[in-house]
Structure 1
Amino acid sequence: MMDADHLDETLNYAWQQGWITNRGIFNSLMAKVDPIQRNQDDSRQVLNGLNALEHEVRALSGKKISAAFAELLLSQVLYLNNMYK
Protein backbone atom coordinates (compact mmCIF):
# COMPACT_ATOMS: atom_id res chain seq x y z
CA MET A 1 0.00 0.00 0.00
CA MET A 2 1.06 3.54 -0.66
CA ASP A 3 1.62 6.37 1.74
CA ALA A 4 0.99 10.03 0.99
CA ASP A 5 4.73 10.71 0.62
CA HIS A 6 4.87 8.64 -2.56
CA LEU A 7 1.87 10.03 -4.45
CA ASP A 8 4.05 12.46 -6.40
CA GLU A 9 6.47 9.67 -7.37
CA THR A 10 3.54 7.56 -8.56
CA LEU A 11 2.25 10.39 -10.73
CA ASN A 12 5.73 11.04 -12.13
CA TYR A 13 6.08 7.38 -13.04
CA ALA A 14 2.64 7.36 -14.67
CA TRP A 15 3.59 10.45 -16.69
CA GLN A 16 6.84 8.82 -17.84
CA GLN A 17 4.98 5.66 -18.83
CA GLY A 18 2.39 7.61 -20.82
CA TRP A 19 -0.46 6.64 -18.51
CA ILE A 20 -1.20 10.35 -18.05
CA THR A 21 -1.26 11.80 -21.54
CA ASN A 22 -1.61 15.53 -20.98
CA ARG A 23 0.95 17.80 -19.28
CA GLY A 24 -1.78 20.12 -17.94
CA ILE A 25 -3.59 17.19 -16.34
CA PHE A 26 -0.33 15.93 -14.86
CA ASN A 27 0.36 19.39 -13.42
CA SER A 28 -3.17 19.59 -12.03
CA LEU A 29 -2.84 16.21 -10.31
CA MET A 30 0.54 17.19 -8.88
CA ALA A 31 -0.99 20.43 -7.57
CA LYS A 32 -3.57 18.36 -5.72
CA VAL A 33 -0.94 16.04 -4.26
CA ASP A 34 1.28 18.85 -2.96
CA PRO A 35 -1.02 20.02 -0.13
CA ILE A 36 -1.76 16.40 0.79
CA GLN A 37 1.94 15.80 1.32
CA ARG A 38 2.62 19.13 3.05
CA ASN A 39 -0.28 18.86 5.51
CA GLN A 40 -0.16 15.25 6.65
CA ASP A 41 -0.59 16.33 10.25
CA ASP A 42 -3.96 17.93 9.39
CA SER A 43 -6.33 15.09 8.48
CA ARG A 44 -9.05 17.50 7.35
CA GLN A 45 -6.80 19.07 4.72
CA VAL A 46 -5.51 15.66 3.63
CA LEU A 47 -9.05 14.33 3.23
CA ASN A 48 -10.07 17.41 1.22
CA GLY A 49 -7.04 16.96 -1.01
CA LEU A 50 -7.72 13.26 -1.50
CA ASN A 51 -11.32 14.04 -2.37
CA ALA A 52 -10.24 16.57 -5.02
CA LEU A 53 -7.70 14.10 -6.41
CA GLU A 54 -10.29 11.33 -6.55
CA HIS A 55 -12.79 13.50 -8.43
CA GLU A 56 -10.27 14.53 -11.07
CA VAL A 57 -8.99 11.00 -11.59
CA ARG A 58 -12.54 9.64 -11.92
CA ALA A 59 -13.45 12.36 -14.42
CA LEU A 60 -10.41 11.66 -16.60
CA SER A 61 -10.20 7.88 -16.33
CA GLY A 62 -10.03 6.37 -19.79
CA LYS A 63 -9.58 9.81 -21.34
CA LYS A 64 -6.38 11.60 -20.32
CA ILE A 65 -5.50 8.99 -17.68
CA SER A 66 -5.35 5.32 -18.57
CA ALA A 67 -8.25 3.43 -17.04
CA ALA A 68 -5.96 0.80 -15.51
CA PHE A 69 -3.74 3.38 -13.82
CA ALA A 70 -6.78 5.39 -12.69
CA GLU A 71 -8.21 2.27 -11.03
CA LEU A 72 -4.92 1.61 -9.24
CA LEU A 73 -4.57 5.23 -8.12
CA LEU A 74 -8.18 5.36 -6.91
CA SER A 75 -7.61 2.24 -4.80
CA GLN A 76 -4.63 3.97 -3.19
CA VAL A 77 -6.65 7.14 -2.61
CA LEU A 78 -9.33 5.05 -0.89
CA TYR A 79 -6.67 3.39 1.26
CA LEU A 80 -5.24 6.78 2.27
CA ASN A 81 -8.72 8.15 2.85
CA ASN A 82 -9.38 5.37 5.35
CA MET A 83 -6.04 6.04 7.08
CA TYR A 84 -6.86 9.70 7.69
CA LYS A 85 -10.48 9.27 8.82
Structure 2
Amino acid sequence: MPPLEGPERAIAWGERCRHQLVTTAYQALVVEGPVTEEAWLAVERQLRTLDKAGWWIDQRESEPADLPELASAATSADRVTENPN
Protein backbone atom coordinates (compact mmCIF):
# COMPACT_ATOMS: atom_id res chain seq x y z
CA MET A 1 0.00 0.00 0.00
CA PRO A 2 1.22 3.52 -0.70
CA PRO A 3 2.19 5.85 2.12
CA LEU A 4 -0.59 7.85 3.73
CA GLU A 5 -0.76 11.64 3.82
CA GLY A 6 -1.70 13.81 6.77
CA PRO A 7 -0.32 14.97 10.11
CA GLU A 8 2.40 12.72 11.54
CA ARG A 9 0.24 11.33 14.36
CA ALA A 10 -2.64 10.73 11.98
CA ILE A 11 -0.41 8.83 9.56
CA ALA A 12 0.64 6.28 12.18
CA TRP A 13 -2.94 5.85 13.37
CA GLY A 14 -4.27 5.70 9.81
CA GLU A 15 -1.75 3.02 8.89
CA ARG A 16 -2.87 0.88 11.84
CA CYS A 17 -6.53 1.37 10.93
CA ARG A 18 -5.85 0.57 7.26
CA HIS A 19 -3.89 -2.57 8.12
CA GLN A 20 -6.60 -3.84 10.46
CA LEU A 21 -9.45 -3.07 8.06
CA VAL A 22 -7.81 -4.49 4.96
CA THR A 23 -6.63 -7.61 6.77
CA THR A 24 -10.00 -8.36 8.35
CA ALA A 25 -11.87 -7.49 5.13
CA TYR A 26 -9.71 -9.93 3.18
CA GLN A 27 -10.36 -12.62 5.77
CA ALA A 28 -14.12 -12.01 5.77
CA LEU A 29 -14.58 -11.58 2.03
CA VAL A 30 -12.00 -13.86 0.41
CA VAL A 31 -10.92 -16.49 2.92
CA GLU A 32 -14.33 -17.01 4.54
CA GLY A 33 -16.62 -15.37 2.00
CA PRO A 34 -17.75 -15.36 -1.59
CA VAL A 35 -15.20 -12.95 -3.11
CA THR A 36 -12.61 -14.40 -5.47
CA GLU A 37 -8.95 -13.47 -5.33
CA GLU A 38 -9.36 -11.73 -8.70
CA ALA A 39 -12.28 -9.66 -7.46
CA TRP A 40 -10.30 -8.75 -4.34
CA LEU A 41 -7.48 -7.39 -6.48
CA ALA A 42 -9.96 -4.92 -8.01
CA VAL A 43 -10.99 -3.84 -4.51
CA GLU A 44 -7.35 -3.50 -3.49
CA ARG A 45 -6.65 -1.25 -6.49
CA GLN A 46 -9.41 1.06 -5.24
CA LEU A 47 -8.09 0.96 -1.69
CA ARG A 48 -4.61 1.99 -2.87
CA THR A 49 -6.03 5.32 -4.08
CA LEU A 50 -7.28 6.19 -0.59
CA ASP A 51 -4.14 7.81 0.70
CA LYS A 52 -5.49 10.25 3.29
CA ALA A 53 -4.88 8.98 6.80
CA GLY A 54 -8.08 10.65 7.99
CA TRP A 55 -10.23 8.51 5.69
CA TRP A 56 -8.89 5.31 7.24
CA ILE A 57 -9.28 6.68 10.74
CA ASP A 58 -12.89 7.64 10.00
CA GLN A 59 -13.61 4.08 8.80
CA ARG A 60 -11.95 2.33 11.77
CA GLU A 61 -15.24 1.14 13.29
CA SER A 62 -16.78 0.04 10.00
CA GLU A 63 -17.60 -3.57 9.30
CA PRO A 64 -14.69 -5.05 7.33
CA ALA A 65 -17.08 -6.62 4.80
CA ASP A 66 -18.31 -3.09 3.98
CA LEU A 67 -14.85 -1.94 2.89
CA PRO A 68 -15.43 -2.39 -0.88
CA GLU A 69 -18.62 -0.31 -0.69
CA LEU A 70 -16.92 2.35 1.42
CA ALA A 71 -14.04 2.56 -1.06
CA SER A 72 -16.50 2.94 -3.95
CA ALA A 73 -18.25 5.77 -2.13
CA ALA A 74 -15.02 7.67 -1.40
CA THR A 75 -14.58 10.99 -3.18
CA SER A 76 -11.61 12.89 -4.53
CA ALA A 77 -11.46 14.64 -1.14
CA ASP A 78 -10.34 11.29 0.29
CA ARG A 79 -7.38 11.09 -2.07
CA VAL A 80 -4.23 13.19 -2.14
CA THR A 81 -3.02 11.83 -5.45
CA GLU A 82 -4.95 10.38 -8.35
CA ASN A 83 -2.43 7.63 -9.17
CA PRO A 84 -0.45 6.51 -6.11
CA ASN A 85 2.46 4.08 -6.49
TM-score between the two structures when normalised by the length of structure 1:
0.36
Structure number having the greater helix percentage: 1
